[in-house]
Every structure is written in C-alpha cells, then in structure tokens.
Amino acid sequence: MNHNVPLNISPKELNKILEDHSSEKPFIVDVREDNEIAIASFSFSVLHLPLSKYANWSAKIGELLPKDQPIVVVCHAGVRSLNFGIWLLEQGINKSVWNLVGGIDAWSTDVDQSVPRY
C-alpha cells in the first residue's frame, strides 16, 4: 500500500459521515477556484484553498489544517484534490487524508441535486 496517496471516499460515504451525529467529522478542504465556489458550493463548512493561490497559503499549511482530524479534499471532479492530497501527505501534516471521488460534480448527482453542475 502506498502511504503517499489519499484514500478514496465516495460522496455517499462522506454524506453518511457528515449526517451521523455520533461520528468524528472530517475537516474538509476545497481546492477549487473562487469562480467555481460561486457556481456550486457545499452546504457544510469547508476551508477554501484555491490551488491558484498556493503561494498565499502554502507556507502556513501546517497552521491551517488539523493534525488529529481526518481531512477530506475536494475539487470539481477529484483530480486536483487527489494531487493536493498527495502533496499534503508528502508534507507530513496529517496521516489521514481522503479524496472525494468525483468531486462536487459527483456530490451533485449522488447526494445533493440542488448543487448546480458545471
């Protein structure tokens, strides 16, 4: 098993965890751009770290993310978030990093159809 690759989580699995009041909630990081967030956003709290603004937040990433809470990374389709998750694991910030498979696009089709697709 490669420890430098985030684990996969489906939109339905993430939704189940978020709705379960007894389970530990993951910390969610959205790496999409501002214009993408304006089109389609999640209904729950996320930390928005647009990849295009990497220079603005990368040096303080250890301060921005929890060390003891699972992290789920999201983007539009799951590719940018996968790459960001790999980078996070390489930084050694957190050992529990998950990638939302299919991103917000899959979330909008599998969980919350009120989220616009783009």
The answer to whether the CB of 97 falls within 8 A of the CB of 71 is: yes
Which residue of the set 40, 75, 101, 106 is catalytic?
A: 75
Q: Alpha-carbon dihedral of residues 105, 111, 112, 118, nearest 10 degrees?
A: 10
Question: Rounded distance, CA 30 to CA 43, Å?
Answer: 12
d(CA 112, CA 106): 9
Distance CA 73, CA 46 (A): 9
Active site residue 94: no
**Helix and strand tally (H, E) in the chain?**
6, 5
Give catalytic residues, as residue numbers.
75
